[in-house]
DNA sequence: CCGAGTCTTTCCAACGTTGTAAAGTAAACG
DNA sequence: CGTTTACTTTACAACGTTGGAAAGACTCGG
């Protein structure tokens, strides 16, 4: 089978511990011995067995990432950013898909699979705030998103309310007054949908605009088809509108599609703004004005925080920092679907 | 730290081997003993240490997947499908991103990280056919894609030439005659770009249409911006065309965007067909006619093949099946960007 | 040439688990 | 009631590695 320290030791004519010492850069090794060992390693093509090393050292050099589904572009791009950030630290990433199913999310948290990793970056979508106790797991955990909050945990998220408010205010500042919203979740308060809807309402209030329930399109899955369906619902209500806020880009793109089918021109008749700044937002027709949520920063911060927590777990942990909630900065990316001076276009 | 067999054994008042036997469903255990042990497991919240189990058994229960980049939707959807297929077999997936960089791809192949997994599903993009010897690695490997072929390896791919030919023939059958192609790679013969361009040319030949080099747009990265740029190049040549074949969906979407900027209507003036059947192809404006390459089948087959190979590696391996090249079936998905009767639309 | 100090190598145990085989116990048979 | 047989539990070693500390070798000063 695979080459082990024993094989190398035999070929080099030394003990396995000496080989181990060479590999681990132990300083006191005679140059002659060192080169003998290195030659044997080269000759046999020895590679350390990371499983054994991990068992012995208690460190796996791997972390787990649990996301709903890689076919959702936001999570695919997030996963890519997490893997890249981990890679920079020499850490590999084991990816789990939960499908956003609460039962499956809880199962992943309790799964013995996690004994293969040093910690978990967890992006829940299905569990409720009441499930927070289930997050008290015996390994380092960093939470993502805004589904569940727990002061006991490190958490990396974004200013959803503020960002959604800024997006809405952007539409208002551009001259729009009747702003539909697509992707709301019935009755949700905590969570992306709840927070972003709140930001939307705050912006309306601040501008003295009335909130019209007929302009709210509901859909649970934040898929394109969901955005399309929610947009159709709003159109069916018959209430006039001159802008749409998609609670994420995928929803906005689905909505844009329906608007076009309905003969409404974007942005001439209706401005559309999204949320996430997906790659594809730049290349849709028209390109999508959206909120950049700082995804890369979130990924990097989540990895750094988790690694710090893992390192602290080994030490006496008395001096470990308290769990913190870290929030990314957002930025509005203006593109064609919602120009900063929309009414000028509309009037043209 | 974590609870081990020893802790459970102590609480239950038995030896650790008995606990191990209970966990592994060894049949000869007295019911009383069994329930004592199970109660202790429950009480302590014992979870087996998979690293130790893996070291002892030589099986990790994990596989690695190396893809270029999760921000490329094709690979994100592929990775999602692979993880789902592995999950069904109780296997976890460690995802590596190579960036399509040949040096990094070779590095991943040789990386000791793979000692943490039982095998690798490898989707190369940068290495050349001449790198095939580097694929002779000491662990089970399943190749994806059409970048490199090696009779020594299991390989799951698709009928690129035939599918591209079918896509082109679909455009021809719809009445188009001047078909541009976007995403070619200068001089490439083996690889997605080379094969698909070949299929395109075969279709032209079979229909007695002339190949016009001015209708070929080149771009190395199959990103949306690449498609946009290649489309601009073709437009700049000034040669007239009435259809575009994007060598993948992303390219086609980028191209569609440029066509619209240039005042050309899709599909009225120009039909557009893509390749990959990404989620977003269904929701672009207009929705994208494309080739479904059987991605899910490819993922499932790759995982099944790898697991079979891993299982065979344990046995005497004499009866292991020979490495095989398995090809997915493709299907043309007709949507708006290229209706089956395009000329009828154009004539209208 | 001896002893102290320093450098270099080795031995042993342990990480948590399971395969092997032996030891112990109970049931069944004559 | 002794003996075979089947059942139940345990001891031990091993997977490949590294931490700790002992053992061995060398250098230097006196």
Q: What is the pLDDT of residues B29-80, one digit of tens each?
A: 999 999 999 999 999 999 999 999 999 999 999 999 999 999 999 999 999 9
Confirm whether any atom of chain D, the nucleic acid strand, is less than 7 Å from CB of A59.
Answer: no
Rounded to an integer, the average pLDDT of A275-280 is: 93
Nearest CB to A62; choose among B1, B84, B116: B116
**Tokens encoding A260:** 């076009």
Residue B49, CB, strand D, below 7 Å: no
Q: What is the mean predicted confidence (pLDDT) over A145-166?
A: 95
pLDDT of residue A343: 62
Element (DSSP H or E) covering residue A142: strand A141-144
Mean pLDDT of all residues in A121-142: 94
End-to-end CA distance of chain A: 75
Does the distance separating the beta carbons of A260 and B116 come in below 8 Å?
Answer: no
pLDDT at res. A132: 93
Strand partners, B184: B218
Residue A342 in contact with residue A170, Cβ under 8 Å? no
Asked if pLDDT for residue A137 goes beyond 80, the answer is yes
* pLDDT confidence of residue B315: 67
Q: Are strands B154-158 and B120-122 parallel, antiparallel or unpaired?
A: unpaired
Q: Average pLDDT in the A108-125 region?
A: 95
Question: What are the structure tokens assigned to B336, written together?
Answer: 């708006």
pLDDT, residue B318, reads: 62
For B12 and C25, how far is CA from C1' in angstroms?
19
Q: Are strands B331-333 and B243-246 parallel, antiparallel or unpaired?
A: unpaired
State yes or no: pLDDT of A194 exceeds 90. Answer: yes
Mean pLDDT across A239-254: 96
Name the residue of chain B whose CA is nearest to A54's CA. B51
Total residues belonging to chain A: 348
* pLDDT at position A154 over 70: yes
Strand C atom within 7 Å of B237 CB? no
Average pLDDT, whole number, for chain B?
93
Closest CA to A180 of A142, A212, A224: A212
Closest Cα partner for B123 from B111, B135, B113? B135
Question: Considering all CA atoms of chain B, what is the largest pairwise distance in Å, rounded to the nearest integer?
Answer: 87
The CB density around residue B261, as the number of other CB atoms within 10 Å, is: 14
The chain B residue lying nearest A84, using CA atoms, is B97
What's the pLDDT at B174?
A: 96
Please, which residues 264-293 of chain B have a Cβ atom closer than 8 Å to chain A?
Answer: 279-280, 282-285, 287
What is the number of H-type helices and E-type strands within chain A?
Answer: 12, 12
- pLDDT (average), residues A55-69: 96
Q: Does A263 touch chain B (CB under 8 A)?
A: no
Query: Which residues pair with residue B25 across a beta bridge?
Result: none
Using the CB atom, is residue A322 less than 7 Å from strand D?
no
Interface of B with A in 207-236 (CB under 8 A): 224-225, 228
Identify the pLDDT of residue B259: 95
Structure tokens that stand for B69 in this block: 């980049």
A-facing residues of B in 292-321 (CB < 8 A) are none
Does any strand D atom come closer than 7 Å to the Cβ of B56? yes
Which two tokens mark B140?
Answer: 């089970």
For range B89-113, the mean pLDDT? 96
Q: Is the CB of A207 under 7 A from strand D?
A: no
Distance of alpha carbon B277 from alpha carbon B326, whole angstroms: 20
Give the mean pLDDT of B189-218. 96
pLDDT score, position B1: 66
Q: In sequence order, what are the beta bridge partners of B218? A: B184
Give pLDDT, residue B342: 73
Mean pLDDT for A256-274 is 94
Is residue B347 pLDDT above 60, yes or no?
A: no
Q: CB of B87 within 8 Å of any CB in chain A? A: yes
Residue A22, CB, less than 7 Å from strand C? no
Q: Please give the share of chain A, as a percent, with pLDDT higher than 70.
A: 97
The residue among A273, A259, A249 whose CA lies nearest residue A170 is A273
Asked whether B247 and B193 are in contact (CB, 8 A), the reply is: yes
User: How does pLDDT run across A201-227, given as a tens digit for each residue?
Assistant: 999 999 999 999 999 999 988 888 899
Residue range B133-147: mean pLDDT, rounded = 94
Nearest-CA neighbor of A112 among A143, A141, A79, A139? A139
Q: Of B84, B94, B115, which is closest to A47 when you measure between CB atoms? A: B115
pLDDT tens-digit profile of B270-299?
999 999 999 889 888 889 999 999 999 999
Which chain B residues are within 8 Å of A257, Cβ to Cβ? Answer: 283-285, 287
Check CB contact under 8 Å for A70 and B60. no
A15 is near strand C: CB distance < 7 Å: yes
- Say if CB A297 and CB A329 are below 8 A apart: yes
b/e per residue A146-158 (b: at least 16 CB within 10 A): bbbebeebbbbbb
Q: What is the mean pLDDT of chain A?
A: 93
More confident site: B316 or B162: B162
A300-319 mean pLDDT: 85
Measure the CA–CA gap between B343 and B269, rounded to whole angstroms: 9
Q: What is the pLDDT of residues A68-81, one digit of tens each?
A: 999 999 999 999 99
- The answer to whether A14 CB is within 7 Å of strand C is yes
pLDDT for residue A319 is more than 70 = no
Positions 151-170 in B, CB within 7 angstroms of strand D: none
Q: What is the pLDDT of residue B317?
A: 60
Distance from CA of B65 to the nearest CA of A (A): 10
Rounded CA-CA distance A66/A123 in Å is: 6
Give the closest nucleotide to B29 (alpha carbon vs C1').
D8
Residues in B closer than 8 angstroms to A287, CB to CB, are 257
Q: How far apart are CA A26 and CA A4, in angstroms?
A: 19
Average pLDDT (B319-328) is 89
Best of B61, B94, B101 to disrupt the A interface by mutation (most A CBs within 10 Å)?
B94
D1 C1' to B31 CA distance, Å: 30
Q: What's the confidence (pLDDT) of residue A261?
A: 87
What number of residues does chain B have?
Answer: 348
Nearest residue to nucleotide D9 when comparing alpha carbons to its C1'?
Answer: B18
């Amino acid at each position: 089978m695979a080459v082990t320290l024993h094989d190398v030791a035999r070929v080099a004519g030394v003990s396995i511990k000496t080989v181990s010492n060479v590999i681990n850069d132990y300083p006191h090794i005679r140059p002659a011995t060192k080169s003998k060992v290195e030659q044997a390693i080269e000759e046999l093509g020895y590679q350390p067995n990371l499983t054994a090393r991990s068992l012995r050292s208690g460190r796996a050099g791997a972390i787990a990432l649990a996301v709903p589904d890689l076919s959702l572009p936001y999570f695919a791009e997030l996963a890519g950013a997490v893997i890249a950030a981990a890679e920079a630290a020499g850490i590999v990433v084991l990816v789990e898909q939960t499908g956003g199913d609460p039962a499956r999310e809880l199962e992943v948290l309790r799964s013995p699979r996690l004994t293969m990793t040093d910690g978990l970056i967890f992006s829940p979508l299905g569990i409720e705030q009441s499930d927070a106790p289930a997050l008290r797991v015996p390994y380092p955990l960093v939470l993502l998103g805004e589904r569940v909050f727990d002061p006991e945990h490190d958490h990396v998220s974004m200013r959803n309310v503020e960002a959604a408010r800024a997006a809405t205010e952007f539409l208002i500042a551009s001259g729009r007054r009747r702003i539909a919203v697509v992707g709301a979740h019935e009755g949700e308060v905590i969570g992306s949908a709840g927070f972003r809807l709140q930001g939307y309402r705050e912006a309306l209030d601040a501008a003295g605009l009335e909130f019209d329930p007929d302009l709210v399109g509901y859909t649970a899955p934040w898929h394109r088809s969901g955005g399309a369906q929610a947009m159709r619902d709003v159109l069916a209500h018959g209430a006039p509108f001159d802008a749409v806020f998609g609670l994420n880009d995928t929803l906005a793109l689905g909505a844009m599609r329906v608007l076009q089918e309905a003969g409404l021109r974007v942005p001439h008749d209706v401005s559309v703004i999204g949320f996430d700044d997906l790659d594809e937002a730049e290349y849709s027709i028209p390109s999508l004005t959206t909120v950049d949520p700082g995804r890369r920063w979130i990924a990097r911060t989540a990895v750094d925080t988790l690694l710090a927590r893992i390192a602290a777990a080994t030490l006496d942990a008395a001096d470990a920092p308290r769990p913190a909630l870290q929030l990314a900065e957002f930025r509005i990316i203006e593109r064609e679907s919602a120009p900063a001076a929309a009414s000028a276009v509309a009037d043209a």
